[in-house]
Chains A and B, each alone.
Chain A
């Protein structure tokens, strides 16, 4: 496979490229950097080389979308579950509005479902100038094929410059199908989006490598530029019921006989607040010591009106179900407050929670890596600190205080 090209004359042997390479593709030989076949052409080394000794192999020109200049406007897919719009989609609308304004273009919402006219009105209130509204029994529950078919058909006809989806489970699935069908670029799980107002080029920033690096991805020649964005990256916009917008009904593309999947049932997790949406998460790890130990974690979550999370160690040990697992192998969360109790902070755990707004770590081991990402650290016994926390929370917030605020 091709690799980056290293100019042996220019290389000063500083090792900067060797240290940054995420793929172990660079090493030093005779004081000069050498590249091996693990190189994926990720470009990480190009930016760090102080003497520009590294270059890409002859860059192939991209074919691109033929009439790319004619693509205009920002679109957002509005996800709904059981007829209720998901908040992540309104976050997308808030950012979509900003991008559209910078580009002096209109913002379009795509609402797919059954008996979801109320969501079209909400979409306008949250900033849409135009709403495409597909309402059909076949669209009541998300299914990738009929949903993707409608989006592909609308994009092909109306040619948006940017298409954003929330990085929920459904959003990631739908975005992948649509991008594959359209032959365009898609960046998963972004934590930042910026636009170049003149060219419309979207800078899509995403963590990779278990959260160890941040990559900026571009889609220069293909349209639309597609991205899924993590929850709670962008602020929830304020709805304005007085806004005006155009609602355009569009037909479903497939009838039930043409759709080869059927959703038979849905088992909603009702035990606690759902992790992805939770503003506060209290998480337990190895230090919790057992299933019994999670009682106190649940109690604290309950007092705070939050959800219960867990590290992989706790889940693998069978102390709590997999649905609670936070991290690369579980769920990615981004609450306002994450309280890690007895969690050491492995890279795979950090990848799932390190972008939380405020992180509190409670751990007996003062050298635990979790303290590196925490805002507040308490190096002590969680079984002493949590009861004290609950006592003070109840006192300071009054009976039911914080809990009432959360609901």
Chain B
């Protein structure tokens, strides 16, 4: 089974603190990490490989330092890794990112399953996974919480998964190849030891530029190829009123006061 995992290097948003005075982000010393949802995707790829054999390829698009995210994927146990990095990829929105990643996946050869995290914790769009599937002409199955069954011996191969939707969980079966985006519930990613990282350091990670992607239309790459434009970035308005602390010396009185206030605010 050939599996491709798409991963993104992101700033660790859980480490970001907001400056209480200015309301801006305090980014100093915030580490870059592998997008946490992508770790579930890597883990799932590795466990599929354990059952079915085959190869796992990790792909990431980003600046040169994104190579450390790929190192971690190699440390976890993926077989090979490719970095997509080129000045012409800069400023890509989700459309161009999907387009570029799809071109790279095509170049890696035939695949059965593509795995992505459900979204990246910096952009939070969840659009790149389905976008890649459309570019490759395969089915996207989003928010997968469990792979129930994979049949490779049948022709075509089949997969059955559980998806987390708003009202509950959907069991769906589809024909391979598919693209899955996975949620946290799917597994527990393995820890990477120092020796794993050392072993990973010996594996070469090629960097592909736009010139290495056959058939891509350079007008569809990067900022130029991206339909959306960011026109403004601001700190979210702070809540209109500051928190009103209700004294709790008597739980009884506190409860009564709170209920009255909530009713006055029409929240009850």
A375 contact set on B, CB distance < 8 A: 239, 241, 243-244, 265
Bound-state Cα–Cα, A214 to B231, Å: 11
Min CB distance A218 to B, Å, is 5
The answer to whether A187 and B89 touch (CB under 8 A), given A24-B11, A42-B233, is no
Contact of A180 among B27, B134, B248 (CB under 8 A): B134
Bound-state Cα–Cα, A348 to B26, Å: 15
Min CB distance A167 to B, Å, is 9
**Chain B interface, number of residues (Cβ within 8 angstroms):** 105
B185 contact set on A, CB distance < 8 A: 322
Bound-state Cα–Cα, A39 to B223, Å: 13
B223 contact set on A, CB distance < 8 A: 2, 41, 59-60
Min CB distance A160 to B, Å, is 15
Contact of A19 among B20, B22, B30, B222 (CB under 8 A): B22
The answer to whether A180 and B224 touch (CB under 8 A), given A169-B166, A393-B259, is no
B95 contact set on A, CB distance < 8 A: 179-180, 183-186
Asked whether A346 lies within 8 Å of B14 as measured between CB atoms, the reply is yes
A188 contact set on B, CB distance < 8 A: 94, 124-127
A59 contact set on B, CB distance < 8 A: 223
**Contact mask A367-395 → B, CB, 8 Å, 1/0?**
00001111111111100110111011100
B87 at interface (Cβ–Cβ under 8 A)? yes
The answer to whether A214 and B134 touch (CB under 8 A), given A179-B95, A186-B95, is no
A39 contact set on B, CB distance < 8 A: 90
Contact of B63 among A1, A261, A371, A385 (CB under 8 A): A1
Min CB distance B13 to A, Å, is 4
Bound-state Cα–Cα, A47 to B18, Å: 19
Interface residues in B238-268 by Cβ distance below 8 A to A read: 239, 241, 243-246, 248, 251-252, 254-256, 258-259, 261-263, 265, 267-268
Instruction: Summarize A's interface: helix, strand, loop or mixed.
Output: mixed
Bound-state Cα–Cα, A328 to B20, Å: 22
B130 contact set on A, CB distance < 8 A: 144, 173, 176-177, 180
The answer to whether A328 and B167 touch (CB under 8 A), given A20-B25, A209-B13, is no
B214 contact set on A, CB distance < 8 A: none
Asked whether B127 lies within 8 Å of A176 as measured between CB atoms, the reply is yes
Bound-state Cα–Cα, A143 to B165, Å: 12
A207 contact set on B, CB distance < 8 A: 124, 236
Asked whether A389 lies within 8 Å of B255 as measured between CB atoms, the reply is yes
B261 contact set on A, CB distance < 8 A: 376
Asked whether A217 lies within 8 Å of B229 as measured between CB atoms, the reply is yes
Contact of A266 among B30, B89, B171, B252 (CB under 8 A): B171
Asked whether A358 lies within 8 Å of B262 as measured between CB atoms, the reply is yes
Binds A, one of B69-77, B136-144, B192-200: B136-144
B175 at interface (Cβ–Cβ under 8 A)? yes
A145 at interface (Cβ–Cβ under 8 A)? yes
Contact of B234 among A47, A173, A186, A380 (CB under 8 A): A47
A55 at interface (Cβ–Cβ under 8 A)? no
Asked whether A218 lies within 8 Å of B90 as measured between CB atoms, the reply is no
Asked whether B236 lies within 8 Å of A213 as measured between CB atoms, the reply is yes
The answer to whether A208 and B124 touch (CB under 8 A), given A186-B95, A213-B234, A336-B267, is yes
Asked whether A1 lies within 8 Å of B16 as measured between CB atoms, the reply is no
Asked whether A388 lies within 8 Å of B254 as measured between CB atoms, the reply is yes
A21 contact set on B, CB distance < 8 A: 25, 27
Min CB distance B181 to A, Å, is 9
Asked whether A220 lies within 8 Å of B14 as measured between CB atoms, the reply is no
A348 contact set on B, CB distance < 8 A: 13-14, 121
Interface residues in B112-145 by Cβ distance below 8 A to A read: 121-127, 129-131, 133-135, 139-143, 145
Bound-state Cα–Cα, A122 to B234, Å: 38
Min CB distance A398 to B, Å, is 13
Asked whether B233 lies within 8 Å of A263 as measured between CB atoms, the reply is no
B2 at interface (Cβ–Cβ under 8 A)? no
Min CB distance A354 to B, Å, is 8
Min CB distance B158 to A, Å, is 9
**Contact mask A262-274 → B, CB, 8 Å, 1/0?**
1111111100001
Asked whether A322 lies within 8 Å of B63 as measured between CB atoms, the reply is no
B166 contact set on A, CB distance < 8 A: 168-170, 274, 276-277
A1 contact set on B, CB distance < 8 A: 63, 85-87, 89-90
A276 contact set on B, CB distance < 8 A: 166
Asked whether B127 lies within 8 Å of A179 as measured between CB atoms, the reply is yes
Asked whether A218 lies within 8 Å of B228 as measured between CB atoms, the reply is yes
The answer to whether A217 and B139 touch (CB under 8 A), given A37-B65, A208-B124, is no
The answer to whether A184 and B248 touch (CB under 8 A), given A60-B222, A358-B265, is no
**Contact mask A306-336 → B, CB, 8 Å, 1/0?**
0000000000000000110100111000001
Contact of A173 among B27, B140, B167 (CB under 8 A): B140
Bound-state Cα–Cα, A371 to B241, Å: 12
Bound-state Cα–Cα, A24 to B226, Å: 23
B24 at interface (Cβ–Cβ under 8 A)? yes
Asked whether A42 lies within 8 Å of B230 as measured between CB atoms, the reply is yes
The answer to whether A179 and B131 touch (CB under 8 A), given A221-B227, A360-B262, is yes
Min CB distance B172 to A, Å, is 5
Bound-state Cα–Cα, A185 to B139, Å: 21
The answer to whether A22 and B140 touch (CB under 8 A), given A322-B185, A371-B243, is no
B164 contact set on A, CB distance < 8 A: 169, 323
What are 15 A-B contacts defined by CB distance under 8 Å? Answer: A23-B122, A40-B90, A177-B130, A177-B133, A180-B131, A210-B14, A213-B234, A213-B236, A217-B228, A217-B229, A328-B121, A348-B13, A374-B243, A385-B255, A388-B256
9 interchain residue pairs of minimum CB distance: A60-B224, A185-B227, A380-B248, A176-B130, A388-B255, A44-B233, A1-B90, A180-B134, A210-B13
Other contacts beyond A41-B223, A276-B166: 4, CB < 8 A: A366-B245, A373-B239, A374-B243, A387-B251
